[in-house]
Structure formats: C-alpha cells, structure tokens
Structure 1
C-alpha cells in the first residue's frame, strides 16, 4: 500500500539529512523560523541547477522574510560536493535523501534511465513551506523537472501569508 501524501496543515515529523560540510540539515519539528525546503532531482538535472541558482541569488530576500532554506537530493556526497563547487551555492545543502524520506514527503520517485543519469532512484522536485510549529503550509510536488513554483511569486505569497496569518489551503 502506498504511503499517503502529506496534507497541508499536518505536522511534518522531524527528519534530517547529511549536510555538505558536516552536520545535518534538519526540517520539521519546532523551529525559530519558517523553512523553505526544496527537494531537487540531483546533479544530473540541468533544470534543477537553474532553479537552485535563482534560489541562491534570492537567499537574502528569503532570510529577510524570516525563512531558513534547506535543499536536499538523493545524490551522494561526491555529487553534492561537485554541484556546490561548480555553482557556489550558499544555502544548506543536504544529500542522501532516502526512499523512506521521499515517501514521508510525498515526492514522486523515479527509476533512472541509465547509470549516467543516477546510480539509484531519485526524488522528483518538491517545494515545501513549513511553519515554525512544524506544520506544512505549502506542498508543491511534481512528477518531472519542468514544473516548479516560481520563486519570486512564492516568496511574495509567503510574505503575504505570514503578514496576514493565512491558514493552509487545500486541506479538504
């Protein structure tokens, strides 16, 4: 039986991933700030690089709005290091996302087309906004690389949501 998809308003159980540079990237549970969690497909995905480069350029805007940024893929340490070195990303970059964690987040999982794409199953894109109490405000998952929330629009909407204490939507 498939794992049920997460529901907006539900509490995301704490989970953590190894972080590039040491330590862990942790999401879910109680935090001081809101969290923007971005799950990306991995090193093999050029669309992911474009998206994450935009996010990296917007780090200060997200931080000023009260958000911590966490980014993770199922990639190995070596692949995550290669991407960070090539692109100079300055957000918390996690790696080693497990299939159990993919199921907990409700992201789609893909079998690689070849070993050159990825050496194991990987997550398709997911973008999540998590309130400081650990509840999921926004869940955006895609079954392919071409559909993701536009980050400027998302930030604008999240600022409005915070300022006006808007509830999660799509809960029915």
Structure 2
C-alpha cells in the first residue's frame, strides 16, 4: 500500500510521442498527475482520457504535469491515442504488471471481447489516479477494481486549487497502531 507523504515507487515507461516518462525526473511546480488506465479495449477509458486531454491546459496552468499510462503494448496504445485525438496528452505504454502492483493497482485477467468488440489483453491493470509532490511523495491516490466510478478530473482541479491555496497536507499517512481509545465514540 502506498502511504501519503512517503516516496512513491519508481516509474519509467516509454510514451508514444513525448520521449520516455520517468517520474523521478519530473519537477512540476505543484504535482505530477499519474493516471493509470486499463487500455485500448476500455470504452470508459477513452471517454476518461478525452476529458483529461480537454482539461490538460487547466492542469498545466496550475503547475501539474500529466501522464496517462497503460500496460498496453505500443500498437494498442497508439490506437487509443488516435481514438481520443489528444496529441498533447503524454500517453505512456508498456507498464509492467509488477510495477502496477507496486503502485497498488489491481490486475485483471482478460475475459475476451469487450462491449465494443475489442479483445482484452491476457492481463492488464485496473485504473488508478495519483497526485505526486515534486519531492516524489504521495499526496493523493485512488484505485479502482472496476472501470467505472473514477475520480472526475474537473473535481480534481478544484481540489488541486484548494490544496495549493490552503497548503493542505496529505492525509492518510498514519501507519501506527489503532487502539479502541483512539476511535471516536459512537452515539448510543
């Protein structure tokens, strides 16, 4: 499990049109937004990435660097990039499933054709969205076991604004023991 305020795992993948993406080489003013998506076979991912691409200038204006990554091989990643038509969006591919697991992503075995008639790969990672501080520590993370009910990028922009203006700390970093005394009292 990734812990807020602690270093995230190393992450390096090729991208289609923007050279290699190496998270540890990123130095955004505020955050790196790392969006893991399921792959070309996922129609929900296509809509999700189109929304991300549409909001890319807004993230950039806030000092947030953005990348979208899947475990697809280059040809399938290219098909997704062509489908969504967002050339400014860095599209990483070839995420090793071991790396996906280090990021806390769920891994799924393919189940044949999707609702849009595209074969799922034999194995792929499920979605995850992470905001990483310039010092490469986790600020925010969300992972899903399904393609739906993901964090919305417009809402994430509002949250980024709040975090920046309020210098809001990352939450969820406590890893010590949890005793009954520390639990809030329940109303009778």
Fold conserved between structures, TM > 0.5: yes
Q: Point out where structure 1 has 5 or more consecutive residues left out of the alignment.
A: none
Show the counterpart of 1:96. Answer: 94
Contact 1:14–1:29 under 8 Å retained in 2: no
Show the counterpart of 1:17. Answer: 13
Show the counterpart of 2:142. Answer: 140
- 1:28 shift after superposition: 4.0
Query: Counterparts of 1:29 and 1:12 in 2: how far apart (Å)?
Result: 13
Show the counterpart of 2:103. Answer: 105
Query: Counterparts of 1:10 and 1:155 in 2: how far apart (Å)?
Result: 23
Q: Point out where structure 2 has 5 or more consecutive residues left out of the alignment.
A: 175-188
Secondary structure of the residue aligned to 2:121 is coil
Contact 2:32–2:64 under 8 Å retained in 1: yes
Which digits, 9 at most, give the CA deviation of each residue in 1:22-56, with x for residues without a partner?
62112246623321110000001000111111111
Query: Counterparts of 2:102 and 2:25 in 1: how far apart (Å)?
Result: 14
Contact 2:35–2:127 under 8 Å retained in 1: yes
RMSD of aligned residue pairs (Cα, Å): 1.5
- 1:119 shift after superposition: 2.7
Secondary structure of the residue aligned to 2:129 is strand
Show the counterpart of 1:170. Answer: 172
Which digits, 9 at most, give the CA deviation of each residue in 1:45-99, with x for residues without a partner?
0001111111111011000011000110011100111111222122110000111
Query: Counterparts of 1:149 and 1:22 in 2: how far apart (Å)?
Result: 25
Show the counterpart of 2:51. Answer: 54
Query: Counterparts of 1:43 and 1:81 in 2: how far apart (Å)?
Result: 9
Match among 24, 27, 52 for residue 31 of structure 1: 27
Show the counterpart of 1:161. Answer: 163
- TM-score of the superposed pair, with normalisation by structure 2: 0.84
Contact 1:17–1:25 under 8 Å retained in 2: yes
Query: Counterparts of 1:70 and 1:139 in 2: how far apart (Å)?
Result: 15
Structure 1 pair 162–85 and aligned structure 2 pair: CA distance change class (3 A)? same
Pair 1:85-2:82 in alignment:
yes
Instruction: Return the index of the structure with the highest Cα Rg.
Output: 2
Contact 2:49–2:84 under 8 Å retained in 1: no
Structure 1 pair 84–36 and aligned structure 2 pair: CA distance change class (3 A)? same
- Greater shift in the superposed pair: 147-156 or 13-22: 13-22
